[in-house]
Amino acid sequence: MAEVKVAPRPLSPHLQIYRWTWTMAMSVVHRATGIALYGGIALFAIWLVALASGPRAFETVHWFFGSPLGLLILFGYTWVLLHHMLGGVRHLVWDFGHGMEPGVRINMARFTLIGSVVLTVLIWAVALLLF
């Protein structure tokens, strides 16, 4: 009987093998922000349920979101949300076959980071001034 030799199967290289590029970094951040939003939406659900439960529950939750830690979480959440949104728009542009060229796709990746930071600061500035 012939011996069956099992050759080691080829493995595709993982993240640490590659040189980091803008598109790769923003792709990783897009997925990470998606996961953060997935967990973070529970905070909104808690806030809504507290509002529906009555003044006492609401005051407790409202106090937490108004605390330095709560505000920090909300500020971070704003950026995460906007980054995921701009990243999503970038993906929709790609879905239509546009923006695949090297220069364009790197600029689009840079824009998701810069745009999300600028928009976050802008939204908080406007919110603090208006409300």
Nearer to other proteins, 25 or 123 (CB): 123
Question: Closest Cα partner for 113 from 28, 38, 39, 17?
Answer: 28
Nearer to other proteins, 1 or 128 (CB): 128
Q: What is the DSSP letter of 29?
A: H
Which of positions 31-90 make contact with other proteins (CB under 8 A)? 31, 34-35, 37-38, 41-42, 44-45, 48-49, 51-52, 55, 58-59, 62, 65, 74, 78, 81, 85, 88-89
60 by Cβ neighbours in 10 Å (0-12 / 13-18 / 19+) ranks as: exposed
Residues 6+ apart with CB under 8 A from 105: 23, 99
Q: Which token pair is 111?
A: 């824009």
Q: What is the DSSP letter of 19?
A: P
Which of positions 94-123 make contact with other proteins (CB under 8 A)? 95, 123
Give the total of residues touching other proteins (CB under 8 A): 32
Instruction: Name the site residues for other proteins (rule: CB under 8 A).
Output: 31, 34-35, 37-38, 41-42, 44-45, 48-49, 51-52, 55, 58-59, 62, 65, 74, 78, 81, 85, 88-89, 91-92, 95, 123, 126-127, 130-131
